[in-house]
Homo-oligomer: A and B are copies of this chain.
Amino acid sequence: MHSLTSSQDTEVVNVRRRQQRSADTRERILAAAFEEFAERGFEATSTRSIAASAGVQHPLVTHHFESKEGLWKVVLTTVQANFVEYYGRYVHGEKHEDDVEELRRLQEAYIRFTAAFPNYSRLIFHMGSRPGPLLDWLLESQAKTYFRSLTQLIKSAQAQGRYVEGDPTHLQYLFIGCVTRIFMQWAEAERVMGKSLASETFVEQHVKLCLDLFFRDPPAAASAPAKKARKAAVSRSA
């Protein structure tokens, strides 16, 4: 029992509380910055609006992140790390039956991630319009490996006649556009379509539509119903 608190005890408690609060505000600023940067891009976002949206005073932004540019960098690397972590669970998960199934699950993961965090797509898109060393780094270390691993799978799937023909990298751009566009224009799309994009059923529809565009049924060894034939039809390991 600690009914008596020494001055040392209270000291320790206070330090912890302060550290906790500091970490809190840092996180709040980071989260708010993610939203604002994703919505408006870097230049059009002010550190004041970030601070206001985080419920803190604006000098705290530069105190915790050095500068607006520093905040931008931390937001980008953090968000990208989150994506890689989320996505890596699928990449390094259990071995799949074949390359096509693995590719399918990877792309499905990408679609669901996009639907769940549309601001990720917006932020990554805005990133492209800010050339500089950070963009180079993210492109080299992250995007390139993302493209490379998927390119292998796409080539394999194409060799089996189960993925649409064409340059794999080019196809990846088509796929990304397909998946993300409607979520990047969330408000407008909901008005035009007259339905919620957040609903379970819409996301399922979106997953199915996007995947069915790119995946093709195998070239019919037999003329069996396509869905059931899919798993049995292939037995290779690229």
Residues of A with Cβ closer than 8 Å to B? 39-44, 125, 128-129, 131, 139, 143-144, 147, 164-167, 169-171, 173-174, 176-182, 184-185, 187-189, 191-193, 205-206, 209-210, 212-214
Residues of B near A192 (CB, < 8 A) are 139, 143-144, 147, 169
| Shortest beta-carbon distance from A121 to chain B in Å | 10
**Copies of this chain, count:** 2
Q: How far is the CA of A167 from the CA of B206 in the complex (A)?
A: 10
Interface pair A131/B187, CB less than 8 Å apart: yes
Interface pair A174/B181, CB less than 8 Å apart: yes
Interface pair A189/B206, CB less than 8 Å apart: no
Q: Is the interface of A mostly helix, strand, loop or mixed?
A: helix
Q: How far is the CA of A90 from the CA of B144 in the complex (A)?
A: 39
Q: How far is the CA of A129 from the CA of B192 in the complex (A)?
A: 15
Residues of B near A189 (CB, < 8 A) are 173
- Choose from B44, B128, B170, B176 the contact partner of A44 (Cβ within 8 Å): B44
Interface pair B129/A40, CB less than 8 Å apart: yes
- Choose from B40, B164, B173, B188 the contact partner of A43 (Cβ within 8 Å): B40
Q: How far is the CA of A199 from the CA of B27 in the complex (A)?
A: 46
With A167-B205, A178-B178, A209-B166 as given contacts, are A128 and B40 in contact (CB-CB < 8 Å)? no
**In the complex, residue of chain B having the shortest beta-carbon distance to the beta carbon of A147:** B192
Interface pair A182/B170, CB less than 8 Å apart: yes
Residues of B near A191 (CB, < 8 A) are 139
Interface pair B174/A209, CB less than 8 Å apart: yes
Q: How far is the CA of A127 from the CA of B173 in the complex (A)?
A: 22
Q: How far is the CA of A6 from the CA of B147 in the complex (A)?
A: 72
Q: How far is the CA of A94 from the CA of B179 in the complex (A)?
A: 34
- Choose from B128, B177, B180 the contact partner of A187 (Cβ within 8 Å): B128
Residues of B near A166 (CB, < 8 A) are 205, 209
| Shortest beta-carbon distance from A118 to chain B in Å | 13
Residues of B near A144 (CB, < 8 A) are 192
Q: 13 pairs across A/B with beta carbons < 8 Å?
A: A39-B129, A41-B44, A44-B44, A125-B185, A143-B192, A166-B209, A169-B192, A170-B205, A173-B181, A174-B182, A174-B209, A174-B210, A213-B213
